[in-house]
Chains A and B, each alone.
Chain A
Amino acid sequence: MKDYKLLIFLIFTLSNSIITSQNMFGTVIFGIERINKSVPTEFSSSKDLINLLDTGLQNIEYQLTFNNTESNYNYIEKMDIDDDLGFKLAIAVSGGDGTKYVNSKTKEVLKQMYIDGTPYLIKSNLENLNWVLFNETKMIQKFLCFKAVVVVDVELKIGEVVKQNITVWYAPKIPVNFGPDGYGGLPGLILELNTPKTRTFIKSIKTSNADIIEIIKPTKGKTVSPDEFRRINNKLILNYKKGA
């Protein structure tokens, strides 16, 4: 009889731990800020525009929702300020108003972006991100986070691509491969993302083993590679250049 009770206890404990380890759902709210808020002297004539952007950034929030294999990253709509220029610029700086979808099983990354209202799905692969992992740690909220760095291409001036370090802090305690702005592929959830000029930081997090979250893959838009998207966008703009 004693053995029978022990067996039931073991089965219950085991099945419970299997269920909890198999299912992970979560919602993270992120904010974005410029790391150095001062206005460079060479841009003092554009101080108002930069201040407008900073105000927009203060009001902006993004939401990352995820389950074990998929995640979506979207900005949280705020109807009263959606038309504000500072808010529009803040959205552009923070990753745009389209959905960023990541599937850790297929390694697929889809970034929905708009050019003058036309949607595009920029398709890439998580494996294209060549992360360098470090032992450096820091606490973010109650989570011990590890540092990782990846180098990406950025076109600060059209036609001039430069390399930029993206430094992130990920929490192995939350064992999903996702993060803000379509970044992922690390052994834990990314809770902070730093570019040389901006910081995407966690405002709140809610995880659960039971509250099922369905992730919807974006389908609206023509599928293009990151290079194709850059070419299309630049082509539209390049002729505007002074003296062209």
Chain B
Amino acid sequence: MKKIFFVLAFMLIGTFAFANESQKTTNKKIGIECFLILTDIDSSSNVIVYYANIIIQLTEPDCLDIAWDQSIILSSVTGVDQSTLFHILVRSCWETQGLL
């Protein structure tokens, strides 16, 4: 199982290096799709979450950074757990960038 995820992850990185913008967007979409499928299988599994995180960091790190900062700000003005807001902000960023 590990091998499959490594192959998938490295295929995605490899294609980024030589891809044009349109191909990069497609690859980002594939990365997000993989991430969503994996976390949907079982988000409490250490192995699955580990590889889902690798794939999403390699393919679409921008929205993660944006959502991380935004979730800290909203958490401090509302007093709600940061993790509660993070998922919504990531998805919103992906939607805004046409990746979902």
Interface residues of A (CB under 8 A from B): 34, 39-40, 43, 46, 49-50, 53, 85, 88-89, 92-93, 96, 115-118, 154-158, 164, 195-198, 222, 224, 228, 230, 232-237, 239-242
Contact = CB atoms under 8 A, between A and B. Distances in A.
A53 B72 contact: no
14 contacts: A49-B70, A49-B74, A85-B88, A154-B81, A156-B75, A230-B81, A232-B43, A233-B83, A236-B39, A236-B43, A236-B53, A239-B53, A241-B68, A242-B65
A198 B78 contact: yes
Nearest to A49: B70
Nearest to A40: B77
A233 B87 CA distance: 10
Closest A-B pairs by Cβ, 9 of them: A197-B79, A239-B53, A240-B64, A233-B83, A93-B78, A155-B81, A232-B44, A116-B39, A195-B79
A51 to B, nearest CB: 11
Interface residues of B, number: 37
A93 B39 contact: no
Contacts of B88: 85, 88-89, 92
Interface string B71-96: 01111111111111111110010000
Contacts of A164: 79
B43 A115 contact: yes
A92 to B, nearest CB: 5
A239 B57 contact: yes
B92 A88 contact: yes
B70 to A, nearest CB: 6
B80 A92 contact: yes
Contact of A157 (B57, B72, B78): B72
Contacts of B44: 222, 224, 228, 232
A43 B50 CA distance: 32
Contact of B78 (A116, A197, A239, A241): A197
* Max chain B C-beta neighbours (<10 A), residue from A222, A233, A236: A236
Nearest to B92: A85
B87 A116 contact: yes
* Max chain A C-beta neighbours (<10 A), residue from B40, B76, B81, B86: B81
Given A85-B88, A89-B89, A157-B75, 20 more contacts: A40-B77, A43-B76, A46-B73, A49-B70, A88-B92, A92-B80, A115-B87, A117-B40, A118-B42, A154-B79, A156-B76, A164-B79, A197-B79, A224-B44, A232-B43, A234-B83, A235-B49, A236-B39, A236-B53, A240-B65
B86 A237 contact: yes
Contacts of A222: 44
B46 interface: yes
Interface string B32-74: 0000100110111010011011001100000011011010111
Contact of A158 (B56, B67, B80, B82): B82
Contacts of B49: 235-236
